[in-house]
Amino acid sequence: MNIGFTILHNIAAKYPFRETAQQSYTYVSPKSGKRSDFHYSTNNKFENDKTFVDLSHFIIGIDGVILNLQQLKNSYQIASLPKLLLHLFEKYQHNMPDQLAGEFCGFIFDKNKEKLFVFTNHTGSRKLYFDHLNDGLIVSSELQSIANFFKSSAVKPKLNRLAAYSLLTFGGMLGNDTLIKGTKRLGPGEYLLRQKSKTEIDKYKDYNNIPLSTKSESQLMAEVDAIFKAALIQQFEKDREYNYQHIATLSGGLDSRLTVMLAHQLGYEVQPFCFSQSNYPDEIIARKIAKDIGSTLQFIPLDSANHLFDFYENVNTNDGLSFYLGSAHFAYGLNQLDLKPYGLIHTGLIGDGLLGSVLSQARVVRPKPASKLISKMLYLKIEKEVNDFASSYASEDPFYLYNRMLNVAISGAYVCAKHSYHAAPFMHPDFVAYSLSIPPAIKFNQQFYLKWINQYHPTITRYKWERTGMRPTSHKKTEWSRYTKKLEQIYFRLTGRSHKLSMTPYAHWYKKNPKIKPFFDEIYNSKKHLLLGDTELAADVVALFAEGNVPEKSMVLTLLGAVDLFNLEV
């Protein structure tokens, strides 16, 4: 089910497109005769934070969770959500979404002006796509709806070749691209405005040119801690508002433990869950933390590698925006849980990236896209285009925020939608913006992150850090771990236990599970012909699938699956 909206604006009635939806409205302008159709479906969580209404002069829709909704209602003394949105739109115009916090996407359609305003949240974790046909516009939360519309219109959508190679190298898209040529994703902090047959895309929130702070390190730590704590409280209080229980991921990393342990200290009873290879440090560390906070860890073992077989589910959920293995383990874990009593699905998503792990140097430098590839084999095919694209970013920090964290890592948020909505304090717009203002000289190698947690949250340093195998009490340990981890890798390989080196040991699973290779081969062999219209791309895919590791093979399968799903012309 498409969680969100599909809007057909100024589309002639002759197109026999039909969208399956829970609710729908149609408006035909008495002035121009132009028709607009609005379709909406959602899950059953946080119902009072959503609206889909046809008013006398407007049609309004918003889906998701507005974390500061009650605060806004109190501030403006407006109890009705549609009236509040209209008031905010009148007051702030196209910057209206910047007044909201949370996981949301929505639209406001002015009937009299035939003006359509569409927006997504600050991180783009609520998907919205758009494309045009003649003088018409289609917007949808699901890429397949765009493809189905073109199919019904006797227009065969074409493969975006650059996006295909991006998927085969970065594991996901760059910028606002999708695998459908001409179809774009509405990016983080962006809005779409359609008026008088013109479509305008702009930002209400731009993370690309945030000035670096000149404050002292101690002041930065104090302020980042306050922002993080406020974001966390806001998210957990939203659960309480609806009398939901709290559930959160917990692993051996720093991001999830900071979220869970701080929530516990603030009085929230959190149910932690973990998914990894059995007896991997993620499970061992998470169990210790859960016990110490008086909880019992819900552990979902990945030993069977069954999540590798959830190919079609994940390609469909991610719309081919990123390789399907990137979120398959998280989706599998969620599917094993009974999430009915819980509200938001709390995680520590993108924390380490925001706080220094993506930086290559302790100073401001231009992006070096080639340094963060999942596969190098085909990168030369798009190197010039990628470097030209990367030059529009102020530095590597915002480049990797938009194109790695909010384009690839964000797939973890997509898989939550059928259950509920995702939340991470690190993804609050105030925290994202503040993190980008911290100078690289302070953030590099996560030095600032380690100092912050040691000074403000020392209890979380009682447990080892999965990344280093040591307690995160000093930056020097992080440096030492480069050597200790290498020794550990050598030891495990010599003793035949290389699967102990990762929470998701793909090579081990591929070798030990006799069903995986035939499964991969069956999908590949049944779909490889779909690329024969592009001999170069087809040959490259053959080589990558034959020579590549498991993630590289999965990128090939994701491309083939998306071409098939969207019926793309190659």
Q: How far is CA 4 from the centre of its chain?
A: 15
Residues 267 and 402 in one domain: yes
User: If we measure between CA atoms, which residue out of 340, 324, 341 comes closest to residue 523?
Assistant: 324
Residues 327 and 456 in one domain: yes
* Domain interval for residue 470: 217-490
Structural tokens at position 89:
């739109």
Residues 165 and 190 in one domain: yes
Q: Calculate what percentage of the chain has a pLDDT beyond 90.
A: 87
Global confidence as pTM: 0.94
Residues 458 and 525 in one domain: no
Q: Which helix (H) or strand (E) holds 488?
A: helix 475-494
DSSP readout, 47-64? GGG-EEEE-SSEEEEEEE
Asked if pLDDT for residue 478 goes beyond 80, the answer is no
The 8-class DSSP code of residue 212 comes to P
Measure the CA dihedral 499/503/507/513, to 10°. Answer: 80
Residues 473 and 539 in one domain: no
Residue 117 backbone dihedrals phi, psi, to 5 degrees: -120, 120
Residues 481 and 556 in one domain: no
**Domain assignment of residue 458, yes or no:** yes
Structural domain tally of the chain? 3
What is the CATH classification number for the domain harbouring 100?
A: 3.60.20.10
**Domain assignment of residue 499, yes or no:** no
Ramachandran assignment for 28, one of left (phi > 0), alpha (psi -120 to 50 degrees), beta (any other): beta
Asked if pLDDT for residue 326 goes beyond 80, the answer is yes
Q: 291-302 pLDDT, tens per residue?
A: 999 999 999 999
Residues 542 and 474 in one domain: no
Residues 290 and 433 in one domain: yes
Tell me how long the chain is. Answer: 570
Residues 233 and 190 in one domain: no
How far apart, in Å, do the first and last CA atoms of the chain sit?
A: 27
Specify the pLDDT at position 197.
87
What confidence category does residue 1 fall into, taking pLDDT thresholds of 50, 70 and 90?
low
Q: 251-267 pLDDT, tens per residue?
A: 999 999 999 999 999 99
Residues 254 and 114 in one domain: no
**Domain assignment of residue 503, yes or no:** no
Asked if 139 and 89 count as a contact pair (C-beta separation under 8 A), the reply is no
What confidence category does residue 479 fall into, taking pLDDT thresholds of 50, 70 and 90?
low
Asked if 99 and 84 count as a contact pair (C-beta separation under 8 A), the reply is no
Specify the pLDDT at position 2.
75
What confidence category does residue 490 fall into, taking pLDDT thresholds of 50, 70 and 90?
very low
Q: 393-452 pLDDT, tens per residue?
A: 999 999 999 999 999 999 999 999 999 999 999 999 999 999 999 999 999 999 999 999
Residues 317 and 357 in one domain: yes
What gap in Å lies between CA 3 and CA 416, rounded to an integer?
Answer: 11
Residues 334 and 442 in one domain: yes
Asked if pLDDT for residue 494 goes beyond 60, the answer is no
Q: What is the CA radius of gyration of the chain?
A: 24
Q: Which helix (H) or strand (E) holds 301?
A: strand 298-301
Asked if 97 and 169 count as a contact pair (C-beta separation under 8 A), the reply is no
What gap in Å lies between CA 176 and CA 191, rounded to an integer?
Answer: 13
Specify the pLDDT at position 201.
98
